[in-house]
Amino acid sequence: MENIDIRELNVRIEQQSAFVTNLTTGMNQVIVGQKHLVETLLISLLSDGHILLEGVPGLAKTLAIKTLSNLIEADYSRIQFTPDLLPADVVGTLIYSQKNDSFQVKKGPVFANFVLADEINRAPAKVQSALLEAMQEHEVTIGSETFTLPQPFLVMATQNPIEQEGTYPLPEAQVDRFMMKVVIGYPTLEEEKLIIRENIAGSLPMVKPVATSQEIIAARQVVRQVYIDEKIEQYIADIVFATRYPERYALKEMKDYISFGGSPRASINLAKAARAFAFVKHRGYVVPEDVRAIAHDVLRHRIGLTYEAEANNITSEEIISNIINKVEVP
């Protein structure tokens, strides 16, 4: 019985995930290389998560989200985070109208489908937290009124790892709200030549919308139907538990390097992202490779390192790789 269901589900998901190919093609027209960035953006979009991008300036972080919002008929807004930004600059404020002799709500740039929080670590904590309430609750309170944010709602925040002056690093508890933290590297030599050629030629290719907001919302419903076997659920739970209790998984040497492991959000997001990854690959069920493919992006910002780890130059990347290599694959 189950086999027939899976087969039917596979066919349905293959049909309904066709627009993903159009989105990827559109992204690739504008962005050279950065395949991983494009893939993780789509995963976040389809699983209703937010994404934090870390990379040196000039790696097309801003261009990527702008292109994605052009490909989907949706509102896009960009907030440049600076040390003097106020929460009202993000969510909006009450403005007194003399004509009506009353206060009126002026909505901020957070009221859009795609919000780019550029250089989020440049603004102080109170501004960061204003955005995080919107991310978690999908609503904003201005004065005494509460407003629901538009759907789909995706926050993509960027931060530069190199400039430490005048930055306010995001606290661990707040970073946890991001479904994924993606570290972006430099392009390859061939890609670099292509980037030079395209930019010298003049204008970047213009993309036309290939999907609507409604299609994205419908696709999210389909992603929720992607089949996750109990063995895969066990595998996800084991990976997250290994970040908390490495000694139970024959990783005793890791115990001194981890100050805290992944929260239940880590398990939920691993499952959601694995489903979206399977959907992007036009498949109706999750395989262990899907979990392994997204594990680093979902877990990298959820593991706390001890001083000992920093002294030994142990990164969360290495810890995750060790866990993935050690935990038994179903």
pLDDT at 111: 92
Q: Is residue 88 part of a domain?
A: yes
Q: Quote the percentage of the chain above a pLDDT of 90.
A: 22
Angle at CA of residue 133, ends 209 and 49, nearest 5°: 40
Instruction: Using alpha carbons, select from 226, 218, 220, 258 the residue that is nearest to residue 242.
Output: 258
Burial of 330 (0-12, 13-18, 19+ CB in 10 A): middle
pLDDT one-digit tens code per residue, 23-47: 888 888 888 877 888 889 989 999 9
Q: Is residue 319 part of a domain?
A: yes
Question: Mean per-residue pLDDT for 143-166?
Answer: 82
Say whether both 299 and 215 belong to one domain. no
Confidence of residue 1 (pLDDT cuts 50, 70, 90): very low
Q: Is the pLDDT of residue 261 over 60?
A: yes
Say whether both 215 and 234 belong to one domain. no
Q: Find the distance separating the first CA and the last CA of the chain, reported in whole Å.
A: 22
The residue from 219, 253, 271 where one domain ends is 219
Q: Is residue 206 part of a domain?
A: no
Q: Is residue 204 part of a domain?
A: no
Number of domains in the chain: 2
Say whether both 190 and 321 belong to one domain. no
pLDDT at 275: 93
What residues form DSSP beta bridges with 145?
Answer: 142
Q: Quote the percentage of the chain above a pLDDT of 70.
A: 97
Q: Which domain holds residue 266?
A: 228-326
Q: Is the pLDDT of residue 3 over 60?
A: no
Q: Is the pLDDT of residue 74 over 90?
A: no
The residue from 171, 191, 219 where one domain ends is 219
The residue from 219, 250, 272 where one domain ends is 219
Say whether both 7 and 153 belong to one domain. yes
- What pTM does this model have? 0.87
Six-digit token pair at 162? Answer: 């190199």
**Pairwise CA distance, residues 291 & 323, whole Å:** 12
Confidence of residue 294 (pLDDT cuts 50, 70, 90): very high
Of residues 293 and 35, the one with the higher pLDDT is 293
Span of 166-170, 190-194, 256-260 with lowest mean pLDDT: 166-170
Say whether both 44 and 186 belong to one domain. yes
Say whether both 297 and 170 belong to one domain. no
Q: Is the pLDDT of residue 162 over 70?
A: no
Instruction: Using alpha carbons, select from 185, 160, 171 the residue that is nearest to residue 302.
Output: 171
Six-digit token pair at 5? Answer: 């269901």
pLDDT one-digit tens code per residue, 85-140: 898 899 888 888 888 888 888 888 999 989 999 888 888 888 888 887 788 888 88
Question: Mean per-residue pLDDT for 172-201?
Answer: 85
Q: Say which CATH number the domain at 39 has.
A: 3.40.50.300
Say whether both 161 and 129 belong to one domain. yes
Say whether both 104 and 240 belong to one domain. no
Six-digit token pair at 314? Answer: 């142990």
